[in-house]
Amino acid sequence: MRKHELKAALRAAARLTGEHEFFIIGSQALHAVCSRPPAEVLVSQECDLYPRTRPETAGLLDRELGRNSAFARKHGFYVDVVTPEIASLPEGWESRMKPFCVGRVTASCLDIHDLLASKLAAGRLKDLELVGAVLKLRLVRLRVLRARLSKLGPASATEQALLSLKAVLREMTRKQGAGKLR
């Protein structure tokens, strides 16, 4: 999803719900922190979005802008309604969110380190590929990322995320010799 498509999705969500504040907790949050996100963000067809103050509109968003909607068929991208509780997020994530504004609409986006911590905790292949791409672009500091991983909550989530990070770094080193990350 390109930035203009994300903006179109947010405008459509605002028109549909009357809501002007949303959370973005998936990879599209990178649009709030970098002007040239990795290809993994651009090829994604979904925006993980949640209405911030009117959660009762989530079902409407899913029906009208979701994966199987006329909106998705017309535009080639869709809104995936998710709640912040669905993701493993580091303690204090709410205070580090970055605004992404489209007119009067504001999407609060995960900080890049919190996003990667969440992706590492999930550990799916597409999540690990995104983490690798962001690390390759040197958009994060490993020291900060490791600190966020330690604040994921249950020890099992932290352990899984650390193992995932080691696997991503090992793969990067194997493929590109990129061991000089900051």
For 7-22, the pLDDT digits (tens) are: 999 999 999 999 999 9
Q: What order do you get walking across the sheet with 98-102 strand by strand? A: 78-81, 46-51, 21-24, 105-109, 98-102
Taking all residues of the chain, what is their mean pLDDT, rounded to a whole number?
A: 92
Instruction: Please state the pTM of the whole predicted model.
Output: 0.89
- Whether 137 and 60 share a structural domain: no
- Whether 135 and 83 share a structural domain: no
- Whether 104 and 117 share a structural domain: no
- Whether 86 and 142 share a structural domain: no
| pLDDT at residue number 67 | 96
How do residues 133-154 score in pLDDT, each as one tens digit? 999 999 999 999 999 999 997 7
How many domains, the chain?
2
| pLDDT at residue number 181 | 52
- Whether 171 and 105 share a structural domain: no
- Whether 69 and 129 share a structural domain: no
- Whether 88 and 124 share a structural domain: no
In a domain, 181, yes or no: no
Residue where a domain stops, chosen among 111, 131, 156:
111
| pLDDT at residue number 178 | 44
Per-residue tokens: 35:
């002007």
Return the biggest CA–CA distance within the chain. Answer: 49
* Between 83 and 163, the higher pLDDT residue: 163
Residue where a domain stops, chosen among 111, 136, 168:
111
- Whether 49 and 64 share a structural domain: yes
In a domain, 135, yes or no: yes
In a domain, 182, yes or no: no
**Residue 141, domain extent:** 113-176
Report H helices in 18-154. 39-43, 58-65, 70-75, 112-122, 125-136, 142-149
Find the mean pLDDT for residues 68-78: 97
- Whether 148 and 128 share a structural domain: yes
- Whether 31 and 41 share a structural domain: yes
Asked if residue 180 has pLDDT above 60, the reply is no
Q: What percent of the chain has pLDDT over 90?
A: 82
- Whether 148 and 160 share a structural domain: yes
Residue where a domain stops, chosen among 111, 135, 164:
111
In a domain, 137, yes or no: yes
Residue 177's pLDDT band (cuts 50, 70, 90): low
| pLDDT at residue number 108 | 97
How do residues 37-55 score in pLDDT, each as one tens digit? 999 999 999 999 999 999 9
In a domain, 36, yes or no: yes
| pLDDT at residue number 128 | 95
In a domain, 37, yes or no: yes
Q: What element of type H or E holds 46?
A: strand 46-51
- Whether 66 and 97 share a structural domain: yes
